[in-house]
């Protein structure tokens, strides 16, 4: 049978680089490998043809000979035998190459290895602060729990004076390989729990774990302007890792408690402020207090209505990254007195009489409240 051109077999051009040739072969091998096709005769032929082409084109020296002299120049050269069923390549090896990242480099003795000493886990702590602390920044001392290396065994887990031994089941790699059909799956070794070593004489201080739970007081610097959901991270301050491995990180998740008077809306603060009838009608200076206790004087306009909003620029929350601070939005509420002195009642009755006179004015001059009284009807206060 006349052999097809190797480049044609793999559907690549003669100038294709090694990666292109490898990808082309992977595609054909996955499609025609006997383990997937159940030994179909046509698939076996195509698989052998692709494998032969790849063995030549993937080797720089053989490829050079083939380019100069064709099939005759490479016939008789040593080929990669063995494999599964004499097909020259094991699909398990191919899948391990294709999906090494997914299966954790599931090559077993063909290059798969334990990933080395494991770093410690990250520690996450919720840190509650009040709104004033969020605005001004603060330093808080927090007691945390984290894993530390055992002082007795220095993190090895073995009793002082003894050593751990390599796990025989996994060969010290911490993983075992299981094959199912043409798939191979890497799993942590059950004999050593993925550690790769067996501690036959465990340390009494940590019972072989190499780590113990300890407490540490940590000073947290809270920058001004933080909000719920913000995180403050300290590298290398989390749980201890295995021996010779670094610690994990320590992360504080900020949670800002609600304030009784001020509400936060992004960088802005919102509050309500009571004013009297006289202040609303006559206007004048009112003294407002910000979240941080600063006193700010504001001139009320004559005839200020309830629920009008005063904007105090720059008196909201500070910006985290050098931007403009937010504003304080003050909604004024007219405070109706519930207890009247005789003098107050006399004045309010006089005001009521004046309002009745205004209500009898021509419609074009009637106030909004006069129109409401006309619609619903009104009685003189008793």
- Quick check: 71 and 65 in contact, CB under 8 A? no
Tens of pLDDT along the chain (382 residues) come to 578 899 989 988 888 888 888 888 888 887 887 767 766 888 888 888 888 989 899 888 889 888 888 887 777 666 654 333 444 454 444 544 544 434 444 334 334 444 556 788 899 999 999 999 999 999 999 999 999 988 888 878 888 888 888 888 888 777 887 765 556 677 788 877 777 778 888 888 888 888 888 999 999 999 999 999 999 999 999 998 877 788 899 999 999 999 999 999 999 999 999 999 889 999 999 999 999 999 999 999 999 999 999 999 999 999 877 779 999 999 999 998 888 889 988 988 888 888 777 766 555 555 555 555 565 555 555 5
- Quick check: 181 and 35 in contact, CB under 8 A? yes
Contacts of 197 (CB under 8 A, 6+ apart): 164, 165, 166, 167, 172
* Dist CA 32 CA 50 (whole Å): 9
| Token digits of residue 309 | 């909003």
Contacts of 153 (CB under 8 A, 6+ apart): 159, 160, 203, 205, 206, 210
Structure confidence at residue 374 (pLDDT): 60
Name the residue among 360, 340, 331 with its Cα closest to residue 271.
Answer: 331
Per-residue pLDDT of 106-129, as tens digits, reads: 334 334 444 556 788 899 999 999
Name the residue among 160, 162, 166 with its Cα closest to residue 191.
Answer: 166
Structure confidence at residue 238 (pLDDT): 92
213-235 burial, b for 16+ CB within 10 Å, e for fewer? eeeeebebebeebbeeebebeee
Q: How many CA atoms lie within 13 A of 65 on its CB side?
A: 13
* Dist CA 164 CA 73 (whole Å): 55
- Quick check: 131 and 184 in contact, CB under 8 A? no
Instruction: Name the pTM for this structure.
Output: 0.56
Per-residue pLDDT of 305-343, as tens digits, reads: 999 999 999 999 998 777 799 999 999 999 988 888 899
Structure confidence at residue 108 (pLDDT): 40
* Dist CA 206 CA 159 (whole Å): 9
């Amino acid at each position: 049978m006349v052999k097809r051109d190797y480049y044609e077999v793999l559907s690549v051009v003669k100038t294709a680089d090694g990666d292109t040739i490898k990808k082309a072969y992977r595609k054909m091998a996955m499609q025609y490998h006997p383990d997937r096709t159940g030994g179909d005769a046509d698939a076996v032929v195509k698989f052998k043809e692709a494998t032969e082409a790849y063995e030549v084109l993937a080797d720089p020296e053989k490829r050079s000979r083939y380019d100069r002299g064709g099939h005759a120049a490479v016939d008789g050269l040593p080929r990669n035998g063995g494999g599964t069923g004499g097909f020259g390549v094991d699909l398990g090896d191919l899948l391990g190459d294709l999906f090494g990242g997914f299966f954790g480099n599931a090559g077993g003795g063909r290059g798969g290895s334990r990933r080395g000493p494991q770093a410690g886990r990250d520690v996450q702590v919720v840190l509650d602060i009040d709104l004033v602390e969020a605005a001004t920044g603060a330093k808080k001392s927090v007691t945390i729990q984290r894993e530390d290396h055992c002082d007795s065994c220095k993190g090895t887990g073995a009793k002082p004076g003894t050593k751990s031994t390599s796990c025989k089941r996994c060969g010290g790699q911490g993983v075992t390989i299981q094959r199912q059909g043409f798939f191979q799956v890497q799993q942590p070794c059950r004999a050593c729990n993925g550690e790769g070593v067996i501690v036959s004489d465990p340390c009494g201080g940590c019972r072989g774990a190499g780590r113990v739970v300890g407490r540490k007081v940590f000073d947290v610097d809270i920058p001004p302007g933080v909000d719920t959901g913000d995180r403050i991270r300290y590298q290398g301050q989390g749980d201890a890792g295995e021996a010779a491995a670094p610690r994990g990180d320590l992360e504080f998740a900020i949670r800002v408690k609600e304030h009784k008077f001020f509400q936060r809306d992004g960088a802005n603060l919102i509050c309500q402020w009571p004013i009297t009838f006289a202040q609303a009608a006559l206007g004048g200076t009112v003294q407002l207090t910000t979240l941080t206790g600063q006193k700010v004087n504001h001139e009320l306009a004559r005839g200020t209505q309830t629920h009008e909003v005063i904007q105090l620029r720059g008196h909201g929350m500070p910006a985290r990254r050098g931007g403009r601070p937010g504003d304080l939005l003050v909604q004024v509420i007219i405070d109706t007195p519930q207890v009247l002195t005789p003098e107050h009642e006399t004045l309010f009755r006089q005001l009521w009489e004046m309002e009745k006179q205004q209500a009898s004015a021509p419609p074009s001059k009637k106030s909004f409240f006069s129109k409401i009284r006309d619609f619903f009807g009104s009685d003189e206060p008793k």
